[in-house]
Amino acid sequence: MRALLSVENKEGLVSFAQGLQSLGVELIATGRTAATLAAASIPVTQVSDLTGFPEILGGRVKTLHPAIHGGILAKRDEPGQMEQLAEHGIAPIDLVVCNLYPFVETIAQPGISLEQALEQVDVGGVTLLRAAAKNFQHVVVVVRPGDYETVLREVQEHGAVHLETRRRLAAYAFQHTASYDTHIATYLRQLDGDLFPDEFTVAMEKLQPLRYGENPHQEGAFYSWKKVGPSSTSSTAPTQRRNSGSLAPATPQQMPSVADAVVLQGKELSFNNILDLDAALNTVASFTAPTAVIIKHTNPCGLACDKEHLVEAYKRAHQGDPVSAYGGIIGFNRSVDAATAAELTPIFYEAIIAPGYEPEALEILRNKKNLRLLSTNAVIGPPATRSAFAPWQLDVRRVSGGFLVQTPDLLTEQDLHCRVVTEREPTLEEVTDLLFAWKAVKHVKSNAIVLAKKLMVIGVGAGQTNRVYSVQIAVEKAADRARGSVLASDAYFPFSDGVEAAAKAGVTAIIQPGGSIRDDEAIRMANRYAIAMLVTGQRHFRH
């Protein structure tokens, strides 16, 4: 049995090679891999000795030779192919151990030039992996150091690696090279700002399996869209580890995400937990003041800001809908302090996501052992200005037979150009609440209506089949608090009935996109009740 080893990642290499040697496997290796083995006193044959041709072009060409690929690709059960090997003096290669140049890790470094990036595009390694994987019935291909033990054990116990194992390893090798090529293509597309190529692949990394999907009869797993670029960081599976307490500045290229968050404690995250945590994070990231949100079924049932104190924002968010808050997911855009932690402990919540947690807050929250605590370890807030979107920021949604892909709804305050269309202009206090409500409504499922007062959501109408129903639900939830409140609508009012329902409940100002053929009717209805109305010209559908 002969093995070819050519690895960039030397983890576990020496012990694996020693295990192979003890089983009588002849070892062949490329330059630095061979040097590592030789330094450990492991007998090894250089690839250049096998091919009779030196490595050239600074190592760009090492294994691209018939003496290598003939030995890998030959079908052992076809006499004609084996005779050709013998005719040319080529011996079969039965095991290929290879991992690739660190392309992603290289381009993650600041100041890397295109030329430097291209030097980390592996050609020979990818070819080795694909050749071995193609011939997996006869050749074992290993990419991950984590598979070394399995291969050694099966050879020790059975004299060969099981066909099922070889097929599984081959599938991983093909997936690995596909992901590797995707990273390269993504990097090159970013240079041109091409977000929507004719052919589109994404490289996902499994963070963790899930107990089930949305329902117990569905299977599920959590994947991260691995980032490629100067601000990228390798995603790591959420693990129980100590919060570092340091906050890295958020950038348009590296906004905090649930996938990158660290799980500090609590039960295993579920499919639905992750969806709600993402909604919570996206919601509080729209605000600069201390903000708290309580999410139920991806909709905010409570949301509030405070000028100074996070605990006050949380109290008011809870007051927005205390019945629905039970069992919700909380998001904060400030590190959780002891006062906030103490305030929320009497109520059952599923999970919290925040930039971090003060030590005293962690001590309080850890008394609720099942409460999941996630830390982004990065500032949560809106970008100061719009910038080019990175591919991993795209919103990707599945439909039957395909995917819909779009840029995210990330308009900044600088992009908002409101105009007053009613006889009465809003007061300064109304404008403040209208802008707050406008930020909130984009996180509510369409048809979306939000009632707000004093930077606090007091009523939400979400996901209804017509807009007046959403208004009625929001008004019903707000009850007496609706009087003197403002209303935000994610899209225009197709009829004036929604405006009238709000007016009768005591709403004094409205912000909405406009654009209906019946805008004049909605404006007349607002004037009839002395409501101030702002039109944005932008909508925030969230289907």
Q: Catalytic positions, please?
A: 134, 297
Asked if 242 contacts 298 with a C-beta cutoff of 8 angstroms, the reply is no
Residue from 278, 283, 324 nearest 301 by CA:
324
| CA atoms of 12 and 8, how far apart (whole Å) | 12
Report CA 12 to chain centroid distance, whole Å.
Answer: 30
| CA atoms of 498 and 471, how far apart (whole Å) | 6
Both tokens assigned to 403: 């995917």
> What are the distances in angstroms from CA 372 to CA 27, 240, 267, 299?
48, 10, 6, 19
Asked if 77 contacts 103 with a C-beta cutoff of 8 angstroms, the reply is no
CA angle 170, 172, 176 (to 5 degrees): 120
Which residues of 123-276 form beta strands (DSSP E)?
A: 140-142, 204-210, 220-225, 262-265
| CA atoms of 51 and 42, how far apart (whole Å) | 20
| CA atoms of 32 and 37, how far apart (whole Å) | 9
Contacts of 176 (CB under 8 A, 6+ apart): 100, 129, 143
